[in-house]
A and B are shown apart, each in its own frame.
Chain A
């Protein structure tokens, strides 16, 4: 009896590791290794054509003394501060609207709100560039038509980041809406009914029933949105390329340009590592702090 259990256990162990191996190999190679390799590269003046020089933390020191890097850092957080709440709040709002699914045409509403998520970022950027163009775009046109001066959406240092944040929200809210809908669906209807009988207002219901019971979905969507907000590249590359000036240059874009316009790979890797460290520490903090780990387990 004992022997066969041990055998079975050992077989499970071998099989378990073997089965996991292909996935693990891929994941370690493409998600874990680059972090270390990136740090290694960042310690050099990296010349892929030969002649890389080890310079310790030289790249990092240079970066933190470089105003353009600090500007990119600031822009990244400003953008995140705009985009994250916007995307999450809209997603939640839309999910709530669609909660009572049985009105006619609800499918159309859901489909319409979700569809932008299926577009790729270039299409999103191109279309919104056209919509916001100061000469031929319909948004400035109609703003002027009602008598107001049209703001410089993509050409004002103050407006450009909120504008890109709004475009991102238009694009990505659909996914959050779906996540929140699933979370809402999991809340038993009786809770609302009994609380209504007890005299609770819709706002109270939202705060005391909906939000707490949706914590897992909110955390999931929240961290996802946080990460995608901090690492944003596509929208800004297509819409403004960091402009006007460097007002919308975020860290990911700064990294890309340092690598592929200035060919300074060591410094670009340093920017990448810094960005990674920021994202990693923030999301780990949130996971611990908000107890997501226990939720997920």
Chain B
């Protein structure tokens, strides 16, 4: 290769590389184009995509860019994009992360584009409007209430000699079902979805609340009580003494392999299950202690802070317009995504009640939500850090490498440290 050849190659490399400087930017280019970034993937994401497409089709002047995916990276991405001045105009957050990112969200009644809430609707239109309030100010709109339920494999039930149409209603029935499944050679129950750290903690929280315990109270950890220990011990025994499963396993994998009888999983599991060939059913966990509780959460639509500029007001107005057009689709969101849509009109929508998802799981969740069975984490600016502080310990207890007492003692120390820090 002579020098001319070298020059050509280097030039090409350079051009290829410098062409990269025009890298893909998904942010809005035109002034009223808005960018909606969600943390959904899978069935939820498909549902959102369908809705946005429909809105675009009937409103061709709405330029909206939808990107989705990546729960574990989402919050870092959201925060950093605001810091970098390139945030999307619309986003989605979970309620238990809501307050930790409150700083980067607009009060929707007080934005550079004016009071956007007025242009969208009234608080009364929404169910559980209070969940959107942080410090009395609405930093977003309620979208849905989701939660954990117990999915069961009807084939496995049959094989264990259980009636596939009768779901366990009490703790005794549940335990008997687990034992029967275990005897039949299958895995009985997985309480924590894919087995990840945060799911173990949430499974414990539901049991804690079911025992009438509390997580944090008055700025201090309040879970290190007899109730907390009893709840955690029960969870630990599931994969320990009782042998209903083993720690370190992925319940979703087990369930999809047809090896697991019952799996605690979130409402979003619906679409994955529909695609699989499993004959399944869904029920709410029974009352294990004092009351029947299932862990739940909410999704909220939020408006991340934008950099100052002439286009900001226009973009926010466009966002408000989009959200107004989105409201009628709350029912569709419920039908396709499997969670309870938090718009009164949607909840009452007969189409929702006639949909397949309603029959399969949504009615169960909706009723549970109405009865107050689904409980969400307490609202606190530091709740995310509290969760992160507790999780390693509940996991070690679950794995059997730490006693329940030690785990909760240590967790309490860490949580109080977190809550005391400025």
Contact = CB atoms under 8 A, between A and B. Distances in A.
Complex A–B touching at CB under 8 A: yes
A96 B225 CA distance: 61
Given A155-B399, A243-B395, A245-B393, A133 B250 contact: yes
B269 to A, nearest CB: 18
B21 interface: no
Given A244-B248, A263-B79, A135 B254 contact: yes
A262 B385 contact: yes
Contacts of B100: 263
A227 B253 CA distance: 37
A225 B139 CA distance: 48
A156 B248 CA distance: 9
A154 interface: yes
Looking at chain A's contact residues, the main secondary structure is: loop
Interface in B196-251: 197, 246-250
B239 to A, nearest CB: 11
B385 A260 contact: no
A110 interface: no
Contacts of B417: 66
B104 A135 contact: no
B253 A156 contact: no
Interface in B248-272: 248-250, 253-254, 257, 259
A243 B254 contact: no
A134 interface: yes
Contacts of B395: 243-245
Contact of B248 (A152, A246, A247): A152
Interface string A140-170: 0000000000001011110000000000000
Given A243-B395, A245-B392, A260-B76, A155 B248 contact: yes
B396 interface: yes
B246 A49 contact: no
B52 interface: no
Contacts of B391: 245
Contact of A262 (B259, B384, B401): B384
A133 B392 CA distance: 20
A261 B253 contact: no
Given A134-B249, A244-B248, A261 B388 contact: yes
Contacts of B176: none
Given A262-B384, A263-B100, A135 B83 contact: no
A154 B248 contact: yes
Contact of A156 (B75, B83, B401, B422): B401
Contacts of A157: 396, 399, 401
Given A157-B396, A244-B399, A244-B401, A261 B250 contact: no
B393 A135 contact: no
B53 interface: no
Contacts of B246: 134
A67 B414 CA distance: 9
Contacts of A244: 197, 248, 395-396, 399, 401
A193 B197 CA distance: 59
Interface string A256-275: 01001111000000000000
Contact of A135 (B247, B257, B414, B422): B257
Contacts of B79: 260, 263
Nearest to A48: B83
Nearest to B382: A262
24 contacts: A45-B422, A48-B83, A49-B104, A133-B250, A133-B253, A135-B249, A135-B250, A135-B253, A152-B248, A154-B248, A155-B399, A156-B399, A156-B401, A157-B401, A243-B197, A243-B392, A244-B399, A245-B391, A245-B393, A246-B392, A257-B388, A260-B79, A261-B388, A262-B388
In the complex, the 6 A-B pairs of residues with the closest C-beta atoms, listed nearest first = A155-B248, A260-B76, A245-B392, A245-B396, A48-B83, A246-B392
Interface of B: 75-76, 79-80, 82-83, 100, 103-104, 197, 246-250, 253-254, 257, 259, 384-385, 388, 391-393, 395-396, 399, 401-402, 414, 417, 422
